[in-house]
Amino acid sequence: MGIKQLLENRVSGQIKKALPLEAGDAALNGLIGRVIADPKRTEQLFGLGEVFLVKAALYLTGVRLEESAFEGVGTVYKEQHGIYQFDFNLNADKQNPLPAELSLPHGLHVPVVVNPQSPFSLSREKGQLYLKANGMRLFPVEYEPRPKFYDLNTSDGIAMWKLAQHRLGDELMVTYNTYCHTLKGGKQCRFCALNANESIAGCRNGMFIQTPAQIAEVAEAGYSEGIVKRLEITGGILPHRAEIPFMIEVAKAVTARLGTKTIPNGHALLAAPNDVADIDRLKEAGWEYVFFNLEVWDENFFKAYCPGKEELIGREHWLKALDYAVRVFGPGNVRCILIAGLEPFQSYMEGAEYLTSHGIFCDPAPWMPMPGSMLEGHSSPSAQWHINLLVKTLDLWEKYGSLDAHLSCGFSGALPLDTIAKDGWLAFNDLARMRLEVRRQNLPESDLRYKLSVKGDLNL
């Protein structure tokens, strides 16, 4: 056997051993094995489609951090602080600051999910960070740089990183509480891990971690630095729906601080208001977009997974509030996450079609069982199931308007082009970008990007 064949077999074998062994993901394993065995040089081998598959494997298996991989984390590179509802590393060893996000080739991003048993590893050699599979170097990667505002304090002495976190390339994420009224009586959403976290030391309490003035200071610092281009605020449902006046005050404080009429790309993420007139107030205060996340479409599954939301608001009113929000904010400026993997495929797609046809952008967020949630330890469907659902969702984008127009013109029923480039944790963004390339370049069916983003079939 020649040197070339030995090298190809070694690469293929190492990648296959690095992948998850669950039967449902056998197709993903086999496809990556065949892709990586291509005899081309490494820098030519990993195109957008190939790196997407490596990203999927990383998301499923996590990554080990060798000692050298901690170099610069918390100083040069952004450290991980966790988003309260979905902290991937809630139970991880945090003796050293954990890196937050990993930048892969072709502009793809993935959160760093630490798994000491993962066959993937990160190590730094002569200053360069590399991704490895069972010790074999794959390609160079890098962590996200640490924002300068992470070194700043507010005027009342609170470290800004405690009040809001930078993520996804250009977003400032504000989680204003670690409490939800649905916790009363054990009626919290079964997939949510908000109840597993406590308020950060040095901040106020579990209800309101920050004040509107503090958020405005952090927002001004982030936007001024140029590293923030959008702001999102979220948290649990509060007694007497106190989150709504809080979000209104935040919008007023931020716009006053920035000297703008609206928060640039400002997203208010909350449960559908009981009084739809509050939707008008959110718009008037300066929010540009709203998220009312129904989470689950099927009415019976909604009651089972979200008993508190059903009791406090109800699915029927939720849908009315979404439709009203479209009239206030405009088509495409209202979003609703449906968590993929909590209900049957067909009922999910029925919900996605309803929302998309009503001018509501349906976020197909894949379900990952979160540590601390009531569904911790359960399993999400296979990679094939998820990619098929994501591709069918892209079909809806094209059915109800040009994919190219959606991606180029902002929130017009889909994701804006800059979000496709930056909002890289979620696979549907990557697939949308691939499909856009397929359409613009008229790529053949044999191209991996076509196979993934149009066919959505890993059994190739």
pLDDT at res. 364: 85
Q: Can you read off the two tokens belonging to residue 375? A: 């569904």
Q: Which domains does the chain have, with CATH numbers?
A: 3-143 (no CATH), 148-381 (3.20.20.70)
Helices H / strands E in the chain, number of each: 17, 13
pLDDT at res. 426: 59
pLDDT at res. 347: 97
CA 154 to chain centre: 27
3-state secondary structure of 30: helix
Q: What is the pLDDT of residues 79-94, one digit of tens each?
A: 988 665 566 666 677 7
pLDDT at res. 197: 63
**If you write DSSP's letter for every residue of 177-241 in order, what string do you get?**
-S--GGGTTT-S-TT--GGG--PPTTS--SS-SS-HHHHHHHHHHHHHHTS-SEEEEE----GGG
pLDDT at res. 109: 86
Q: What is the overall mean pLDDT for the chain?
A: 83
Distance between CA atoms of 333 and 325, rounded to whole angstroms?
Answer: 9
Q: What is the pLDDT of residues 113-170, one digit of tens each?
A: 899 988 899 999 999 999 998 888 888 999 999 999 999 999 999 999 999 999 878 8
The answer to whether 164 and 171 are in contact (CB under 8 A) is no
Residue with tokens 């600051």: 97
pLDDT at res. 4: 38
Query: Residue 201 burial by CB count (10 A; 0-12/13-18/19+): exposed, middle or buried?
Result: exposed
Q: Can you read off the two tokens belonging to residue 163? A: 């009040």
Distance between CA atoms of 323 and 268, rounded to whole angstroms?
Answer: 16
Give the residue among 149, 146, 145 at the shortest CA–CA distance from 220: 149
Q: What is the DSSP letter of 441?
A: H
pLDDT at res. 429: 79
Q: What is the DSSP letter of 149?
A: G
Spans of the chain below 70 pLDDT: 1-45, 82-91, 195-206, 402-426, 459-460
